[in-house]
Chains A and B, each alone.
Chain A
Amino acid sequence: MIDASAVETALMGRLASDPELAALLPDGVFFDLARDGATMFVIVSLSASRVLPEINDGETFRALIYLVKAVARGADADPIVAAEHRIHALLDHATLDLPGSGGALMTIRWIDRLRYTERAGAETWQHRGARYELIVTPL
């Protein structure tokens, strides 16, 4: 049985430990929701999870799809564009140890990109990132 929480810890650890990304989005990496007051950050969120039941009762691998996006307040495009590129460099087809998950990473890959602008009252927020699929096989 694969522990998805441990997979998420590893994924977020990869992002949070990168000094280049931290310099671009200094408020940090959060799961689902940023802390109050954060204005430049990374959000990781589970988008989909599935097994392939046709093969070995689904115990052969598990696919986890995560939304990983840079979020920044304001209209300045430079930091968020650089952050999007940095996230991609850190994740797409990367290697990643998954300690405590009961599984090993087979692959992590970019699936699709997202970009949108949110207006909340007088504030403008930019969201840029992608969904990444992690295929994990039980050890």
Chain B
Amino acid sequence: MASKLHLSGFRELRHDLAALPDTARDASAPALLAMARKAQAEIMTAYPVVTGTLRAGVKIVNRVPRGVAAFVTTAPYAHLVEFGTARRRPRAIFLPISMAARRASVIAVGAAVERLGLVVRGQRD
């Protein structure tokens, strides 16, 4: 059972969360869900609306075994919005918001785990 959480990035966070005691994982889940919901709202607000499919396709996926709530964009043309077409400019929306949310998630989980008395080491950006 892990008694320390060493943070170095979101990928490592997902891995380390799986090794945390249940109490720590339970404590971090609300922070992750809150960050995912915030990012979902930001992306939905920033997406252009024509038919509404793009905005409706931003969803929360609750990955319970790892204690991670993730947000995804599911519209089949989301990549054409993000990276552009031959005649339309790229509109970087999902990736920058998701990058910021990942950084914020690492910080939030570190704080939640520290409140349980666990030691948190490593960078949190």
- What separation, in Å, do the CA atoms of A47 and B83 have in the docked complex? 9
Asked if A23 lies at the interface with its beta carbon under 8 angstroms from chain B, I say no
Question: B90 touches which one: A32, A49, A125 (CB < 8 A)?
Answer: A32
Determine how close the nearest CB of chain B comes to the CB of A52; give it in whole angstroms: 6
Interface size class of A (residues with CB under 8 A): 20 to 34
Residue of B nearest to A123 (CB): B86
CB contacts under 8 Å to B, within A95-136, are 114, 116, 118, 120, 123, 125, 127, 131
| Chain A residues, Cβ within 8 Å of B95 | 47-48, 131
- What separation, in Å, do the CA atoms of A43 and B83 have in the docked complex? 10
Asked if B75 lies at the interface with its beta carbon under 8 angstroms from chain A, I say no
Asked if A62 lies at the interface with its beta carbon under 8 angstroms from chain B, I say no
In the complex, the answer to whether B96 meets A48 with C-beta atoms within 8 Å is: yes
In the complex, the answer to whether A50 meets B90 with C-beta atoms within 8 Å is: no
- What separation, in Å, do the CA atoms of A71 and B83 have in the docked complex? 11
Asked if B2 lies at the interface with its beta carbon under 8 angstroms from chain A, I say no
Assess A45 versus B92: contact at CB under 8 Å? Given A50-B100, A118-B86: yes
CB contacts under 8 Å to B, within A35-49, are 43, 45-49
In the complex, the answer to whether B99 meets A120 with C-beta atoms within 8 Å is: no
| Chain B residues, Cβ within 8 Å of A73 | 86
Determine how close the nearest CB of chain A comes to the CB of B25; give it in whole angstroms: 26
In the complex, the answer to whether B100 meets A45 with C-beta atoms within 8 Å is: no
| Chain B residues, Cβ within 8 Å of A120 | 85-87
Asked if B21 lies at the interface with its beta carbon under 8 angstroms from chain A, I say no
Asked if A33 lies at the interface with its beta carbon under 8 angstroms from chain B, I say yes
**What's the dominant secondary structure at chain B's contact region?**
loop
CB contacts under 8 Å to A, within B51-106, are 79-80, 83-90, 92, 95-96, 99-100
In the complex, the answer to whether A118 meets B80 with C-beta atoms within 8 Å is: yes
Asked if B26 lies at the interface with its beta carbon under 8 angstroms from chain A, I say no
Asked if B42 lies at the interface with its beta carbon under 8 angstroms from chain A, I say no
- What separation, in Å, do the CA atoms of A127 and B100 have in the docked complex? 26
Residue of B nearest to A49 (CB): B96
Asked if A67 lies at the interface with its beta carbon under 8 angstroms from chain B, I say yes
| Chain A residues, Cβ within 8 Å of B90 | 32, 43, 45, 47, 67
- What separation, in Å, do the CA atoms of A52 and B100 have in the docked complex? 11
| Chain B residues, Cβ within 8 Å of A65 | 96
Determine how close the nearest CB of chain A comes to the CB of B104; give it in whole angstroms: 12
Chain B interface residues (CB < 8 Å from chain A): 79-80, 83-90, 92, 95-96, 99-100, 125
Closest 4 CB pairs of A and B: A48-B96, A32-B89, A45-B90, A125-B86
